[in-house]
Chains A and B, each alone.
Chain A
Amino acid sequence: MSESMVRVEGLKKYFSTARGLLHAVDDVTMDIEKGHTVGIVGESGCGKSTLGRTIIHLLDKTDGKIFLEGEDVSDVKGKDLKRVREQMQIIFQDPYSSIDPKKSIRDTVKEPLKVSGRYSKSEIEEKTDMLMDLVGIDERLKYAYPHELDGGRRQRVGIARALALDPKFVVCDEPVSALDVSIQAQVLNLLKKLQMDRDLTYMFVTHDMSVVKHISDEICVMYLGQVVEKCPSKELFKMPLHPYTKALLSAIPSIDIDHPNKREILRGELTSPINPKPGCRFAARCKFATEKCLEPQEQQEVSPGHFVRCCRVEELG
């Protein structure tokens, strides 16, 4: 039996802006299985980071429910909130701005251990050493400052800090985007190894489709605040069903210079996330749009584990 690590139901996060309510995350329902990695892809600005941050209680949700290992943690406060936050961590994209330049990297890794109040001084030192070994920061760099490190090593510091309090669930928000492919491969291997050793569950946000295919068990495709398709990773690449997913896959730049992809450039009016109309968010740019697409779209399970939010999915095949 698969067990759920995180489940969200009807999760919403709205921001207020000059022109009205911005629906950054709008009615997201999904399950993330223990020990799995769910990849999140979608247009920049579609709500991936907001979704991750809302789940781990870095942002207050507007509506909906969040469960951690079956426990309803939607509205936890005080001590419980602190515990939930410790169990759910985040690794940020930018290893440059996400760690404090004025602190030695050792102090950066140490900080969550201190703040937690769980450990004695000597335990803190011991655990810090262990964490730095774990992510492969060499002995000689333990007291270094961030500016002395390259991007790959800084990202390791971010990972060490995120893992300090033995979280169960980690949101990896574009953790390898700033790295070149050779270092990216090192960090991805490290994340994979840590996952296997510590039974971690990841939510992995990235724009790199080869990375998301490589790392994920399931992939969630988002469009303007909503999940439009979710299914096992391989299935998504073999059998994409939602029209936006198809456009997305067609746009992957190929490294085969003799066989460039036939990119489908999306045309049509843009849809604003501010006070959006009730219908399909993709309708203005979808070449299959009809009348009924202007009605609210429900997420349907078209085959076991394959969810799509498009009323024409059966006909389009």
Chain B
Amino acid sequence: MDNTAENKEFLSVKNLKVEYFSGKTVVHAVNGVDLKMYKGKTLGLVGETGAGKTTIAKSILRILPDVGARIVEGEIKLDGKDLLSLKEHDMRKIRGNEISMIFQDPMTALNPVQRVGEQISEAVKLHSDLSKEQCEERAKEMLKMVGITEDRYYEYPHQFSGGMKQRIVIAIALACNPQVLLADEPTTALDVTIQAQVLELVGELQKKFNTAMLLITHDLGVVATVCDEVAIIYAGRIVEYGTKEQIFHHPSHPYTLGLFGAIPDMADDDIWLHPIEGLPPDPTKEIVGCAFAPRCKYATEACLKGEIPALTTEDGHISHCINMKSVLSKEGK
């Protein structure tokens, strides 16, 4: 295959800004985010609840609520096509065909009053010219692939556990062999064995169809297992971005360091964990300086002023922290 084409991003997000508003309050959900996704590769997007992860994915698909949300600024390109300027009619063709999404909340994707088997079967039908029977067969196979026996084809969503609903949503999203897969916390509700199965299944499909994937998760173990690149997001801003090796071997933003420090250590028996103290900032307030400053133990006067520029190392590891050098020397890295 042509190498230069492979190295060019397939989907890119540039300076994306998204707001939600109700009455007079404005939630600054996404504040100037850049992302690049490549064919056959997985980009991990890691950050806490409310950091803006789902909003980014919904912006790419253009499925933000019609009222009360707006993309203020930015550019989203799929294989050179500018998605934000496409007509809704053309965008509809892209959804579920070229770009498919696994929703974090399975009930946004499932119809509560339709049998789950039929829902998968319909998704298969939409993206193939198989007969009704063949679609049904395929749907049963998909169910089995996500670890659910085919005798449950005729049940309704409420009859399944949280994790099982999640798996049905995964089956539906994979039924259409998308070129871009936006997976919003796809395995958060799954146990580790099913998670391993699902990740393997997604990996196989990704190889087969050279899918570009955005994997939203807060499970750093999952990131370590499947991602090629990682973006760490805090309060609607990317704070660190690099290859998996860069992020795991040389985490350099204080928030990233805090995340690694907060994971319960399988090897010791401390009663107390080490959270990052404090809470994320109020998204309705304008933030001057570094959004992480109130929780950051390295914060200095300068962190509270103006824009925090991105520092990029020679090999492309990006960190939005003006004190990166002293942070790294104190952390002994």
Which of A66-74, A102-110, A115-123, A180-188 makes up part of the contact surface? A180-188
Chain A, 148-175, contact with B by CB distance < 8 Å: what is the 0/1 string?
0011110000000000000000000010
Given contacts A17-B159, A45-B161, A152-B279, contact A179 B49 (CB under 8 A): yes
Q: Which residues of B contact A251 (CB under 8 A)?
A: 192-193, 195-196
Interface size on B, residues (CB 8 A): 63
* Interface-lining segment among A76-84, A264-272, A296-304, A306-314: A264-272
User: Given contacts A210-B265, A266-B197, are A254 and B275 in contact (CB under 8 A)?
Assistant: no
- Docked-complex contact B274 and A185, CB < 8 angstroms: yes
In the complex, the answer to whether A182 meets B188 with C-beta atoms within 8 Å is: no
Q: Are A153 and B279 in contact (CB under 8 A)?
A: yes
Q: Is the CB of A180 within 8 A of B193?
A: no
How long is the Cα–Cα vector from A211 to B263 in the complex, in angstroms? 8
Q: A44-B167, A251-B193 are in contact. Are A182 and B272 (CB under 8 A)?
A: no
Q: How far is the CA of A184 from the CA of B144 in the complex (A)?
A: 33
| B155/A213 in contact, CB under 8 A | no
A-side interface size class? 35 or more
Quick check: which of A3-11, A125-133, A255-263 contacts chain B, the rest being far away? A255-263
Chain A residues, Cβ within 8 Å of B221: 252-255
Contact flag A255-B248 (CB < 8 Å), given A44-B194, A263-B196: yes
Q: In the bound complex, do residue B264 and residue A253 qualify as a contact, i.e. CB atoms below 8 Å apart?
A: no
Chain B hits for A45, CB < 8 A = 148, 160-161, 163-164
Docked-complex contact A43 and B272, CB < 8 angstroms: no
Chain B nearest CB: distance from A51 CB in Å? 12
User: What residues on A are CB-neighbors of B314 within 8 Å?
Assistant: none
* Other-chain residue from B147, B225, B273 in contact with A270 (beta carbon distance below 8 A): B147
Return chain A residues, CB-CB under 8 Å to B225: 253-254, 260
A266 to B149 CA separation, bound complex (whole angstroms): 15
Q: Does B179 contact A (CB under 8 A)?
A: no
Most buried by A among B47, B192, B274: B192
**Closest residue of B by beta carbon distance from A155:** B49
B289 interfacial contact with A, CB 8 Å: no
Known pairs A182-B258, A253-B224, A270-B149; A93 contacts B192 (CB<8 A): no
Interface centre among A45, A178, A265 (most CB of B within 10 A): A45
A45-B161, A185-B262 known; A214 and B147 CB under 8 Å?
Answer: no
- Pick the contact of A211: B152, B264, B269 (CB < 8 A): B264
Q: Cβ of A189 < 8 Å from any Cβ of B?
A: yes
Name the A residues within 8 Å of B248 (CB-CB). 255, 257
Flag whether B33 is at the interface (Cβ < 8 A): no
Interface assignment of A177: CB less than 8 Å from any CB of chain B: yes
Provided the pairs A260-B225, A270-B144 are in contact, do residues A150 and B191 lie with their beta carbons within 8 angstroms? no
- Contact (Cβ within 8 A) A150 B197: no
Binary interface encoding of chain B residues 51-71 relative to chain A, with 1 for a CB under 8 A from any of its CBs, else 0: 100000000000000000000
Q: Is the CB of A43 within 8 A of B49?
A: no
Within 8 A of A (CB), among B219-273: 219-222, 224-225, 244-245, 248-249, 258-260, 262-266, 269, 271-273
Q: Which of B47, B147, B155, B224 contacts A255 (CB 8 A)?
A: B224
| Contact status A252-B192, CB under 8 Å | yes
Residues of chain A within 8 A (CB-CB) of B163 are 44-45, 207
Give the residues in chain A near B46, CB-CB below 8 Å.
180
What residue in chain B is nearest A206 (Cβ atoms)? B191
Taking a contact as CB atoms under 8 Å apart, the answer to whether B264 and A214 are in contact is yes
Contact of B191 among A22, A44, A184, A270 (CB under 8 A): A44
> In the complex, what residue of chain B is closest to A247 when comparing beta carbons?
B193
Q: Which A residues touch B222, using CB under 8 A?
A: 253
User: What are the 6 A-B residue pairs with the smallest beta carbon separation, nearest first?
Assistant: A44-B163, A253-B221, A151-B49, A185-B275, A180-B48, A185-B273
Q: What are 5 A-B residue pairs whose CB atoms fall within 8 Å in the complex?
A: A45-B161, A93-B189, A180-B218, A186-B275, A248-B191
